[in-house]
Amino acid sequence: MAMHNNAQQEINDFFKYLEIQKRASIHTLDSYQRDLRQLRHYCENQELRRWDDLQALDVRNHIANRHRKGLSSKSLQRELSAIRSFYNYLLQQHKVNTNPAAHIRAPKQPRKLPRLLDVDQLTGMLEAPADSMLEIRDLAIFELFYSSGLRLSELAAININDLDFSLRSLRVRSGKGGKQRELPVGRQALRAINEWLKFRKPIHGVDENALFTSKQGRRLGQRSIQLRLDRWCKKRGLPEHVHPHMLRHSFASHLLESCQDIRAVQELLGHSHISTTQIYTHLDFQHLAEVYDRTHPRAKNKKNK
């Protein structure tokens, strides 16, 4: 059953309002037109003739149908945004009494597992010889990333006096949310840092205590660290783009795989909530599943002879 003639006119009026008064972009207008076209199809299939016939349960069913057809969470969120905006406009025009999409939420997007390097890749990357003073510094940076699971911002902010070589520890002063934490530092990372300190020039000024400095003697910035890591990995022939957070992810996953103590890994990473750390349990299971598939004699079907 077709909707009432006024239904399409109200959509047309809504788009004039978006274009003239809200100055919406062409992209938004095109997307919203597609979304409201889908909503109208739903209403006609359900024999709803007017926009005020649509209820919250209808919106929920419509979004569920779209989800079953394979739409992503991001696309469904946009569709809901279009429906809410349309009904807010109808409310302003006194065409409806409620907004049926006001409290409807799209299904959550499945959380993407972080990419990481395996132990062999990291070993090859960290044990490659340095060809210059700057590469000696870079290796110290990469060793410390992987040794202590630091965030990029945390590593860039490290000062020399944050390190305690006798206790093999590091104080992170600028953690997320302004939190400080004490971290162990591995022997290989300390050895690499000591090697760098032989070449680091004395600095005078604001950043005189910075651990990692540029050729000009200034604290090394986050972007520079990213570029140096990318350059090093390309030089070593790693098959994918490597960014600093991959070293942090690799640290967490490899540690959890060995110790199985998620609370300890949470503390080392500086996560406020255990739920943030739990993503590494999925990575660990993924690794175990891959090992199982490769090695268990009954994991795969025998090929037909």
Residues with active-site annotation: 151, 176, 245, 248, 271, 280
CB of 250 closer than 8 Å to CB of 287: no
Residue 281 burial (CB count, 10 A): 15
User: In 3D, which of 29, 47, 46, 36 has the Cα closest to residue 86?
Assistant: 36
Which two three-digit tokens encode residue 263? 């609370």
Secondary structure of residue 214 in the 3-state scheme = coil
Which two three-digit tokens encode residue 140? 């110290």
Q: Name the burial class of residue 154, with classes exposed (0-12), middle (13-18) and buried (19+) by CB atoms within 10 angstroms of its CB.
A: buried
String of DSSP letters for 277-299: HTHHHHHHHHHHHHHHHHH-TTS
